[in-house]
Amino acid sequence: MKTDTSERGLERLICTALTGSPCDPDAEPAESVGERPATYGVGWIPGTPEHYDREYCVNPGGQ
């Protein structure tokens, strides 16, 4: 297995460590229905760029 040393590979490792899933935006089609990944010890839940509030620099939990 080849090691992914790209920036995307690093982002996947970080996101997987924090949320339990690789957080790939194109992993599932937008219209698919399914459960959110379970939160793990650190409690991070992946969000989407559409929910990010640039004025206040926060993600208000956009479920």
pLDDT, tens digit, 9 for 90 and up, residues 3-18: 888 998 898 888 888 8
Task: Provide the domain count of the chain.
Answer: 1
pLDDT at 61: 67
pLDDT at 16: 82
46 belongs to a structural domain:
yes
Write down the pTM of the prediction: 0.52
Give pLDDT tens digits for 4-63.
Answer: 889 988 988 888 888 777 777 665 555 556 666 555 556 677 777 888 888 988 887 655
Domain limits at 14? 7-51
58 belongs to a structural domain:
no
Q: Which residues contact 19 (CB under 8 A, 6 or more apart)?
A: 37, 39, 40, 44, 45, 46
